[in-house]
């Protein structure tokens, strides 16, 4: 009998490399997607296709992250870093858009943000603060934590799923995400990123998580 197991794969980028110019430059987008994201995918596949990863061959990446503590110790760090990297980046491409209509700040998610954080500007300030102050590499997040909106950050490629939280919006603050255009100015990158946020996608994830 031939066992066919699932290989994790790079998702299709929903726009061209230069579609988010001038906010996200084409060169960064191309390297980020074809090199960094591809490496997470490849190394995740390497890890779970080791003999001790057999039980996890066909598990979707979300499940791997939710169940990270059940992964055999010898491959757990690789799954954490590369599974997290694969999942975070798959979401990240969808959290940005060149389409003006999808960037409109409206809907139930905005009502919920206003209610939780006082105002949309207060939410952004808090998000920017955690994004800029995350030491080293990581991500800034808007998540649902037990039904409540929360802003926080994680180190490296750790996913909110590992903390039992549902990611609604995330920003990659690894230097590879901004250094070509912004060099050491992470704050400039973070503040400018709001110009490309796909609020229609955040709204979809919020609705799905609320069901």
The CB-of-200 to Mn ion minimum distance in angstroms stands at: 22
80 vs 113 by CB, closer to Mn ion = 80
- Total residues contacting Mn ion by CB under 5 A comes to 3
The CB-of-37 to Mn ion minimum distance in angstroms stands at: 7
24 vs 48 by CB, closer to Mn ion = 24
35 vs 148 by CB, closer to Mn ion = 35
The CB-of-110 to Mn ion minimum distance in angstroms stands at: 27
141 vs 174 by CB, closer to Mn ion = 174
Helix 108-117 vs helix 199-210: crossing angle, to nearest 10: 80
Asked if residue 142 lies in contact with residue 151, where contact means CB atoms within 8 angstroms, the answer is yes
Sign of the four-CA dihedral 128, 129, 132, 137: negative
The CB-of-45 to Mn ion minimum distance in angstroms stands at: 18
Rounded CA-CA distance 194/128 in Å is 10
Residue 169-198 contact track with Mn ion, rule CB under 5 A, x = bound: ---x-x--x---------------------
Q: Which stretch binds Mn ion (CB under 5 A): 75-83, 146-154, 168-176, 200-208?
A: 168-176
The CB-of-76 to Mn ion minimum distance in angstroms stands at: 21
Binding residues for Mn ion, per CB under 5 A? Answer: 172, 174, 177
């Amino acid at each position: 009998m031939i066992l066919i197991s699932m290989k994790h794969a790079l998702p299709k980028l929903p726009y061209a490399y230069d579609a988010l110019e001038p906010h996200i430059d084409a060169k960064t987008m191309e390297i980020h997607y074809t090199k960094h994201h591809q490496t997470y995918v490849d190394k995740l596949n390497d890890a779970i296709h080791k003999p001790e990863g057999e039980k996890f061959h066909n598990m979707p990446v979300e499940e791997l992250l939710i169940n990270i503590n059940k992964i055999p110790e010898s491959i757990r760090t690789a799954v954490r870093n590369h599974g997290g990297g694969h999942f975070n980046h798959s979401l990240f491409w969808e959290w940005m858009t060149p389409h003006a209509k999808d960037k409109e700040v409206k809907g139930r998610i905005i009502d919920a943000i206003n209610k939780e954080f006082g105002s949309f500007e207060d939410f952004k300030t808090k998000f920017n603060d955690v994004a800029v102050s995350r030491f080293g590499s990581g991500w800034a997040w808007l998540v649902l934590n037990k039904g409540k909106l929360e802003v926080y950050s994680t180190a490296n490629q750790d996913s909110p799923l590992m903390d039992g939280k549902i990611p609604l919006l995330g920003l990659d603050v690894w230097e590879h995400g901004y250094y070509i255009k912004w060099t050491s100015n992470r704050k400039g990158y973070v503040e400018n990123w709001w110009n490309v946020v796909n609020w229609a996608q955040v709204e979809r994830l919020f609705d799905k998580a609320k069901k």
